[in-house]
Amino acid sequence: MFFFLFKYLFDIIFLERSDFMKYQILSASKIVLITFVFSALIMFLMRRVAVHIGALDIPRSDEENRHIHKKTTPKLGGVGIFLAFLFGYMLFGEQSIRMNSILIGSFIIVLTGIVDDIKSIRASHKMLGHIAAAMVITFYGGILLNNITAFGYSFDFGILAYPITILFIIACTNIINLIDGLDGLSGGICSIFYITIAIIGFYQGRFGSLVMVLTLIMLGSTLGFLLHNFHPAKIFAGDCATFMGFIIAVITLLEFKGPALISFFVPVTILGIPILDTLFAIIRRLLKGQPPFKADKKHLHHQLLGMNFSQTATVLIIYGINILFAMASIFYTLKDPIIGEIIYIIIFIIVLWFVFHTTIISDKTPTKTKKIMDKIVPKRKK
């Protein structure tokens, strides 16, 4: 199935494109390669800096023993991604009010993350930084989710566009940080997002736009970090992983927003795994009467580890599911909506299986499922 999908994608993206399109792909590859090399090299420096200033992730036995890694690991990988992003912007970006707002907002996000990586700060204090960054994007940059058209109806948010946009940016900023529980997990998921947006952007003739420049720069920067972060990780993104989520929010709100629901829905569904994982975590904790953002060991990657998958296998499985989300978005948007819908149905079945066979929502779920199955398929007498 995967071979068929990849071959089909290759045909519609490359074989049906003009020579000019192929030239654009080569130009894009240069942006990705240069930022990748810069990011990969600067991570060596960030590891030294993290050790020097004490920005280290030390395995602890508290917080219900959520730490999976066994050795002290430098953080600040997110800072390295940010510096590679700045380097890419200096080479390939263009100055504008929107870009200025993105740079200022990014700086606020990264500064907040650095402070937390050196000495942990309260979640409320971090939230203030995230709110400030989101406000820069909305009020100074004018990047807003103004309206959405769906099912023949148009919803104009009016003055509510500001708080809605701010909440969306804050949600994306934190959602990547929340899933960053295994080596290579957040970096890989973000890379899949950037690749997917790039493919859609090329097909729609958006090369050279702000959203494409951001996407390609972030793709190279994140892949350079992933080179050091894949298991066994030599550096973590730290709380600066929020920077990746922040840029994803900005990319989603830019040219892929549009008035139609589908243009906003597509980039969001690419983040299906972190969104579902966060949603399940909130439901799980509310059912237990716990605060929605209380830490636990019931996330998707914990469930897979509990099935005796290794760290590497767990990450690759999550990559695979996320790639399914990405492929569904590509097919649905560019070529064949029916194939996209089929993949969405497959994903839905996988998600249902997980909900009913794991404790990702409730500790009682596997027991209830077993009782139901016993009634449907009675046990054979020995």
Residue 64 has pLDDT above 80, yes or no: no
Element (H, E) at 267: helix 261-270
371 within a domain of the structure (yes/no): no
All residues at 6 or more sequence positions from 73 whose CB lies less than 8 Å from its CB, including other chains: 56, 57, 233, 234, 235, 236
C-alpha 227/C-alpha 236 separation (Å) is 11
Residue 106 has pLDDT above 70, yes or no: yes
C-alpha 117/C-alpha 88 separation (Å) is 25
97 within a domain of the structure (yes/no): yes
206: helix, strand or coil: coil
Read off the pLDDT of each residue in 309-316 and give the average, rounded to a whole number.
88
177 within a domain of the structure (yes/no): yes
Residue 278 has pLDDT above 80, yes or no: yes
**Strand 153-156 and strand 56-57: pairing?**
unpaired
Half-sphere exposure of 99 (CA within 13 A, CB side): 16
What percentage of residues in the chain have a pLDDT greater than 90? Answer: 34
Q: Which tens digit of pLDDT belongs to each residue from 322-336?
A: 888 888 888 877 767
- Report pLDDT for 260: 44
The residues that bridge with 156 in the sheet, in sequence order, are 147
295, 67 contact by CB (below 8 A): no
The residues that bridge with 150 in the sheet, in sequence order, are 153
Average pLDDT, the chain: 82
- Report pLDDT for 382: 42
Domain count, the chain: 1
Domain span at residue 153? Answer: 24-271
C-alpha 32/C-alpha 35 separation (Å) is 5
350 within a domain of the structure (yes/no): no
All residues at 6 or more sequence positions from 193 whose CB lies less than 8 Å from its CB, including other chains: 248, 267, 270, 271, 326
Put simply, whether the predicted model's pTM sits higher than 0.95 gets the answer no
52 within a domain of the structure (yes/no): yes
100 within a domain of the structure (yes/no): yes
What percentage of residues in the chain have a pLDDT greater than 70? Answer: 80
56: helix, strand or coil: strand
Residue 139 has pLDDT above 90, yes or no: yes
Q: Angle at the Cα of 170 (from 201 to 255), degrees rounded to 5? A: 20
Q: Is the N-terminal amide bond of 232 cis, ω within 30° of 0?
A: yes
295 burial via Cβ count (<10 Å: 0-12, 13-18, 19+): middle
202 within a domain of the structure (yes/no): yes
93 within a domain of the structure (yes/no): yes
